[in-house]
Amino acid sequence: MKLSKIALLSFVFLVLCVSNLQAQMKRERYQTVTTYDSAFWTSTLYAQSTTHFLEARNLNATIMHSFGIATSDVIQNLFGLDTSPNVRLGVDYGITDRWQAGFGRSYFLNVVDLRSKYALLRQKSDGSVPLSLAIKGDLGIVTERDRKPFKDDLSTLLSAVFSRRFNDMWNFQLSPMWAHFSDTGQGEVNELFSIGLGTQVHLSKRFSLAAEYYPVLGDRNAGTKNAFAIGLDIQTGGHVFQLFLTSSYWQLEQYVLAQNTDQFSAGDFRFGFNINRVFGL
Amino acid sequence: MDKVILSYIVLLFLFPVVSPAQAFKTETGHVEFHSTVPLHSFTGKSNHLVGKISLPDSTVDFYVDVHTLKTGIGMRDDDMMETLDAENHSFADFYGKLISSFDPTSSNVQKATVRGKFSVHGVSKQVMINGTMQQTEKGLQVKASWTLDMTDYKIKPPSILFYRVSDTVDISIDATLPNVK
């Protein structure tokens, strides 16, 4: 009787060992908390910075265009496409996953701008951080021959971008911003304030609608209007193409605040086209 | 009757008993794939390869949650997850047998061949994969590489605007599996 018990226990032990080793492992998903760094698809909506960040060692090349007013002399100017566009060529580089820097050059006034952005907060999928916050700075330098001293060719933009991804479809952001121009003309002010608003609605993995608005608060340059843009973004994996209508000729936020004289709601808008291409280095 | 039982017990202990020390497992293996598009190529990596090898019965079992694969560009990762239908088919896995001989007492690099079922995108195929195995102080080190044809697994290579991803993807794994205690 005793021997039979030992035999039984030995058999059970052997079966357990063998079955434990032979059984296929249960497939279990890797659990991780993700941050919504790519809730917005690009580092800028159409001119307004977002909380999208390049991953470390990624380079983003951008070509940004905005053409002439699309609604005047429609046939002669082919919806403004015949009018000389303002084009900004630029690159941004992800120094870390939270910090990127770049530079660009705009055709108008030959403005060269240096910019950097840092992620202070990144919204997390588990809700422990409910929103993203980035700070951004941009230094613009007019390089056009204007017979001004260098110090009068400078403009600065500082902003804080608060954003939230509400669900798979909808992101919204609010950007208090301060712009400063070292030299201004008659009827212009040195400092401008705004609380920029931006949103993106993802229609699918490929397409999204986006809009941005720049209500200037306090003193403003004579004759300027609050800028607005709305458009369609197309994402292909490495490229993001942006097709939009905008009131402003400019792709630099400080100039959008200071120079926009067209009222979108009155029909004064132009066609814009941006190409973003990310390279992994 | 007791003699029969006694004989059985003796046989049990004479028979090579499966020892946990001959099983190896990791959850931090490295897997990567290399894919090409015109004028460009990219690599996806994960350090969350889970693997288990049992030498007594020669079973080899590996899987990776495809969500952990990163190419370095977030939007491309999103694209890849869509292509792989990762929500419905979260794992790429292999389950099969070691069909080559392996000497666990040797610390030399030894060639190894496994045969079994590789599954991804919800499609399974019988495959034979060559690699190497080596007993090290940290455990059993396994390296292998093979080429996967995405069309075999009903994966439609993305083809959008300027992109046409090659049908074939080079896959490699590198994992050290500690002894199962």
Model confidence pLDDT, tens digit, residues B96-132: 999 999 998 999 999 999 999 999 999 999 999 999 9
Percent helix / strand / coil, chain A, rounded to 5: 15, 45, 40
Are A18 and B57 a contacting pair at CB < 8 A? yes
What is the pLDDT, as a whole number, of residue A238? 75
What is the pLDDT, as a whole number, of residue A163? 97
Q: Does position A202 have pLDDT exceeding 70, yes or no?
A: yes
Higher pLDDT, A125 or A135: A135
SS3 label, residue B78? helix
What is the pLDDT, as a whole number, of residue B18? 46
Q: Is A8 part of a structural domain of the chain?
A: no
Q: Does position B141 have pLDDT exceeding 70, yes or no?
A: yes
What is the pLDDT, as a whole number, of residue A152? 92
What would the mean pLDDT of A185-196 be, rounded to a whole number?
Answer: 93
What is the pLDDT, as a whole number, of residue A34? 80
Q: Is A40 part of a structural domain of the chain?
A: no
Q: Does position B19 have pLDDT exceeding 80, yes or no?
A: no
Q: How many CB atoms lie within 10 A of CB A40?
A: 28
User: CA-to-CA distance for B47 and B171, rounded, in angstroms?
Assistant: 14
What residues contact residue B162 under an 8 Å CB cut-off, 6+ apart?
A236, A239, B38
Are A27 and B163 a contacting pair at CB < 8 A? no
Q: Domain B20-177 carries which CATH code?
A: 2.40.128.110
Q: Does position A12 have pLDDT exceeding 80, yes or no?
A: no
- Please tell me if residue A128 touches chain B, with a CB cutoff of 8 Å: no
Angstrom CA distances, A245 to A47, A211, A229, A253, stand at 12, 9, 6, 16
What residues contact residue A64 under an 8 Å CB cut-off, 6+ apart?
A47, A87, A88, A89, A90, A251, A272, A273, A274
Q: Does position B163 have pLDDT exceeding 90, yes or no?
A: no
ipTM for the predicted complex comes to 0.76
Count of structural domains, chain A: 1
Q: Does position B59 have pLDDT exceeding 60, yes or no?
A: yes
* Residue range of the domain that includes A202: 54-280
- Please tell me if residue B163 touches chain A, with a CB cutoff of 8 Å: yes
What is the pLDDT, as a whole number, of residue B74? 76
What is the pLDDT, as a whole number, of residue B16? 46
User: CA-to-CA distance for A92 and A55, rounded, in angstroms?
Assistant: 11
What is the pLDDT, as a whole number, of residue B13? 53
SS3 label, residue A3? helix
Q: How many CB atoms lie within 10 A of CB B88?
A: 8
pLDDT band at A14 (very low <50, low <70, confident <90, very high): low
pLDDT band at A24 (very low <50, low <70, confident <90, very high): confident
Q: Is A87 part of a structural domain of the chain?
A: yes
Are B74 and A38 a contacting pair at CB < 8 A? yes
What is the pLDDT, as a whole number, of residue B136? 93
What is the pLDDT, as a whole number, of residue A116? 98
Q: Is A34 part of a structural domain of the chain?
A: no
What residues of chain A lie within 8 A of the CB of B158, using their CB?
237
What is the pLDDT, as a whole number, of residue B17? 46
Q: How many CB atoms lie within 10 A of CB A166?
A: 10
What is the pLDDT, as a whole number, of residue A205? 82
Highest mean pLDDT among A166-180, B18-32, B162-176: A166-180
What would the mean pLDDT of A134-138 be, rounded to a whole number?
Answer: 98
What would the mean pLDDT of A145-155 be, rounded to a whole number?
Answer: 91
Lowest mean pLDDT among A190-194, A204-208, A247-251, B77-81: B77-81
Buried-exposed string B92-119: b where 16+ CB fall within 10 A, e elsewhere: bbbbbebeeebeeeeeeebebebebebb
What is the pLDDT, as a whole number, of residue A229? 97
Q: Are A274 and A241 in contact (CB under 8 A)?
A: yes
What is the pLDDT, as a whole number, of residue A133? 97
Q: Does position A11 have pLDDT exceeding 90, yes or no?
A: no
Q: What is the mean pLDDT of chain B?
A: 86
Angstrom CA distances, A217 to A138, A185, A191, A220, B108, stand at 20, 20, 11, 8, 73
Q: Which of residues 204-233 of A touch B (CB under 8 A)?
A: 205-206
User: Around B58, how many Cα atoms within 13 Å sit in the side-chain half-sphere?
Assistant: 13
Tens-place pLDDT, residues A52-89: 999 888 899 999 999 999 988 888 889 889 888 999 99
Q: Does position B10 have pLDDT exceeding 70, yes or no?
A: no
Higher pLDDT, B37 or B49: B49
- Please tell me if residue A37 touches chain B, with a CB cutoff of 8 Å: yes
- Please tell me if residue B13 touches chain A, with a CB cutoff of 8 Å: yes
User: CA-to-CA distance for A235 and A226, rounded, in angstroms?
Assistant: 28
Are B12 and A11 a contacting pair at CB < 8 A? yes
Q: How many CB atoms lie within 10 A of CB A58?
A: 19
DSSP A79: T
Structure tokens at A203: 């229609």
Q: Does position A33 have pLDDT exceeding 90, yes or no?
A: no
What is the CATH classification number for the domain harbouring A227?
2.40.160.40
Q: What is the mean pLDDT of chain A?
A: 91
pLDDT band at B67 (very low <50, low <70, confident <90, very high): very high
| φ/ψ bin of B121: left (φ > 0), alpha (ψ from -120 to 50), beta (otherwise) | left
Q: Identify the CA nearest to B86 among candidates B74, B75, B98, B78.
A: B78
Alpha-helical (H) ranges within chain B are 2-14, 74-84
Name the maximum alpha-carbon separation found in chain A: 110
Q: Is A18 part of a structural domain of the chain?
A: no
Computed on alpha carbons and rounded to an integer, the radius of gyration of chain B in Å comes to 20
Are A10 and B9 a contacting pair at CB < 8 A? yes
